[in-house]
């Protein structure tokens, strides 16, 4: 399991502004939170620090989970919150508690967009999403109610690609694949449909829209 924040870091997280997630702390504390993906430094002066979606999860008592190990791999189960990318070993959790967690993470991400995008625009992905493509796309899909694939069987799977700033979304059901495309487009992603060279299976390529 991911090492939890130190007591000092936890106090900084708990003291964050409840609406914006703005942080106050020493430079070393804030830098450590940024390195762990729990905070980010705003690119514009006065360069304040804010909680990331993972930071908001920690504040609610749920620590972060790592990225998938590589293309085509789902993250190992850690017993902590992470948007489901599809193909995880553990069965999907459809409980009300899980729905609340996903909804809260999505609202945190929208707030992150508002705080970091020019003009407070929430209609397109922010820098955090561009740095965490798989997790960002998976969160958009799960928050919209799409079902992630289990170890086997139907459902979406979000995977890295060799193409810069693009993820692949696989879903064996054609109608469900088109619904995934509509969700990502509505969440500010640029989406195109393609066929795999072998077998002709359809899949999506999705990239964060810049304008």
**What does pTM read for this prediction?**
0.67
User: pLDDT value at position 190?
Assistant: 96
User: pLDDT value at position 81?
Assistant: 56
Which 8-state DSSP code applies to residue 206? E
Contact 159, 94 (CB under 8 A): no
- 10-residue mean pLDDT profile of the chain (211 residues): values are 75 82 88 87 80 77 41 36 82 80 86 85 90 92 93 89 92 95 97 88 94 74
Q: How far is CA 116 from the centre of its chain?
A: 16
Q: Within 13 Å, how many C-alpha atoms sit on residue 143's CB side?
A: 22
pLDDT tens for each residue of 32-58: 998 888 888 877 777 888 888 778 777
CA angle 171, 172, 176 (to 5 degrees): 60
Provide the 10 A C-beta neighbour count for residue 100.
11
pLDDT tens for each residue of 68-78: 333 333 333 33
**Helices 7-14 and 27-35, axial angle in degrees (round to 10):** 90
């Amino acid at each position: 399991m991911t090492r939890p924040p130190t007591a000092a870091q936890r106090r900084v997280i708990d003291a964050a502004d409840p609406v914006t997630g703005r942080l106050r702390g020493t430079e070393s504390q804030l830098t450590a939170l940024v390195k762990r993906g729990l905070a980010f430094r705003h690119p514009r002066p006065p360069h304040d620090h804010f909680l990331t979606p993972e930071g908001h999860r920690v504040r609610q008592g749920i620590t972060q989970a790592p990225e998938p190990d590589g293309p085509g791999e789902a993250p190992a189960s850690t017993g902590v919150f992470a948007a489901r990318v599809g193909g995880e070993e553990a069965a999907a959790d459809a409980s009300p508690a899980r729905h609340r967690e996903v909804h809260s993470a999505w609202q945190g991400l929208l707030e992150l967009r508002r705080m970091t995008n020019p003009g407070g625009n929430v209609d397109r992905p922010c820098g955090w999403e561009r740095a965490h493509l798989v997790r960002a796309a998976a969160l958009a899909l799960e928050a919209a109610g799409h079902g992630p694939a289990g170890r086997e069987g139907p459902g979406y799977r979000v995977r890295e690609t060799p193409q810069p700033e693009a993820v692949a979304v696989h879903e064996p059901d054609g109608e469900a694949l088109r619904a995934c495309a509509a969700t990502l487009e509505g969440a500010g992603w640029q989406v195109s449909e393609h066929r795999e060279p072998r077998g002709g299976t359809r899949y999506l390529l999705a990239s964060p829209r810049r304008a």
